[in-house]
Structure 1
Amino acid sequence: MRVAIAGAGAVGRSIARELITNGHEVLLIDKNPGSIKPERVADAEWLLADACELSSLEEARLDNCDVVIAATGDDKANLVCSLLAKTEFGVPRTVGRVNHPNNEWLFTEAWGVDVNVSTPRIMSALVEEAVTVGDLVRLFTFRQGQANLVEITLPADSPYVGQPTGLVPFPENCALVTLLRDGQVYVPTPEQPLEQGDELLFVVPTEKEDELERLLAPTSHGG
């Protein structure tokens, strides 16, 4: 897979290293000469160019890329890069970095962003996930499917503690994908009983989140 990353700062370089380790081809693009440091990611291609300029993206051969990641520290630049990648070059998958939470609402398909990654949201979600029991925490949003990856820690007073997962009447289109218990990751089976303190990860439509939360933690949420 060929991936272009706009923004060769610390974030862009870290993403590039990970992708290269996984066997992908990576091109790093940055308009700041001080950010062009090929020795930092020796196996990547490097291009000194403005990722908001159509001519620069033509030089980068974005039409040959499978994914474009807009990872600069400027939300406006990330939006423009994503939009050009999608509309002018038909890139199948675009990922946009959100630097400021107030701008997150812009990072949608209308601006060419298939997936947005908001560092502030992820950090706050991780904090919530670590300290809350019985509250649903949204970890990630899948833009194309209008669904979210959410986590809930099963409280002691949940009516489904001790019940097999196959007997829990989860809302329609809610999928339990992972169960975390005592530091172990389990792929849930219908026969596996739920236990107090289990961390349950679901893919769930946005409109079903409240229903899922009330089902598993009715005492706290009026279910």
Structure 2
Amino acid sequence: PQDVVVLAIKPQQLKALCLELAPRLGGALVVSIAAGIRSEALARWLDSDRVVRSMPNTPSMVGKGVTGLFAAPAVSLADREAAQTILASVGAVVWMDQERGLDDITCVSGSGPAYVFYFIEAMMQAARQVGFDDDAARSLVLDTFDGAVALARQSPLPIDQLRSNVTSKGGATERAIARFDQGDVKAAIVAGAMDCRARSIEMGQQLSQD
């Protein structure tokens, strides 16, 4: 088996580490999970083209991650397969054809768990407001999310149809959705994701400089 070095460090500390590591690499493949740092900068600091960038997310800690991967054309098929094997051990893997795709997946899957947790927080707050204790609120909301995701995975229906199926005309769910629409909740989530993407691009440009 080939040697692989995984760079799991804060982006702000990566350049110094790469410069220190470069003389000791010995030709090993490098897989970086540091956000934002471009592969060209990594290759320059490491003095090696054997670099694969990845963007995992925190559910990787429980084997349910989603990881975006990018490798420059110079990276061999064997190196790509080695990187994929490592990241696939913690969840799904998606290869990006272009490096900017990592900024795209950052705003959806990379940061996405935070958006989900944000919504969970709001639903738990509603549960507590109507009288459930903290434990019950947590269980109710998490089980609701589990069930909704399981249904979405198993059903052939589009997501908007699944939502519509719960939203009876003139019913209680419709009242809640109307309030969400009044507050432009969906538009705010999309706009937030785009802000996340813009910041990912900005950080990459800043941190990839010499």
TM-score (norm 2): 0.31
Larger RCO (CA within 8 A; separation ≥ 6): 2
Q: TM-score, normalised by structure 1?
A: 0.30
Higher relative helix content: 2
